[in-house]
Amino acid sequence: MKTVFTIAAFCLFAGFAHAGGETPSNPEAKVYFVNLSDGDAVQSPVTVVFGLSGMGVAPAGTEKENTGHHHLLLNRPPIGEGDDGADELAYGLPADDNHMHFGGGQTEVTLDLPPGQHTLQLVLGDAGHVPHNPPIVSEVITITVE
Ligand SMILES: [Cu+2]
């Protein structure tokens, strides 16, 4: 009886402890900005080049081990933080002006950005746009568009 209770308690705990979706990542994998660093001052349009090591890029919908597609988070709290944090890690990233999907397997984008500060973060998503477990995310960088 005690064992049953322990298993049930573990399942309950696991259900709340969202560390990402169900697709395993290579925990050593890294996603990063190739051509931009925190604090950079740039001119619009801004080209952003996405780097990935330890895993491969595949278009959305591709169920292949250790692959995913890039997402660029623009001017929103770091992944996992804020009101949508748990939902987006468990159920997938929304698609809007603050969450850009590169489901074709693209590895760069050129953005028209208004003058001022902008925060950027890269997140790898699986075939269904859900971050892996553990999530593969870049550092958050702030750039200033002059
Ligand atoms: Cu996506």
CATH number of 116's domain? 2.60.40.10
Q: Looking at residues 55-81, what average pLDDT do you find?
A: 94
Q: How many whole angstroms separate alpha carbon 5 and alpha carbon 76?
A: 40
Range of the domain at 45: 2-145
Residue 10: CB atoms within 10 A of its CB come to 10
DSSP 110: E
Q: How many whole angstroms separate alpha carbon 63 and alpha carbon 10?
A: 29
Q: Which of 13-17, 26-30, 32-36, 101-105 has the lowest mean pLDDT?
A: 13-17
Residues 6+ apart with CB under 8 A from 7: none
Cα 122 to ligand 1 centre (Å): 11
Q: Is the pLDDT of residue 12 over 60?
A: no
The dihedrals phi and psi of 12, each to the nearest 5 degrees, come to -60, -45
pLDDT at position 20 is 61
3-state secondary structure 43-89: CCCEEEEEEEECCEECCCCCCCCCEEEEEEEECCCCCCCCCCHHHHH
Q: Is the pLDDT of residue 107 over 80?
A: yes
Cα 60 to ligand 1 centre (Å): 6
Read off the tokens for 97: 């002006």
Cα 6 to ligand 1 centre (Å): 36
Cα 1 to ligand 1 centre (Å): 43
Number of domains in the chain: 1
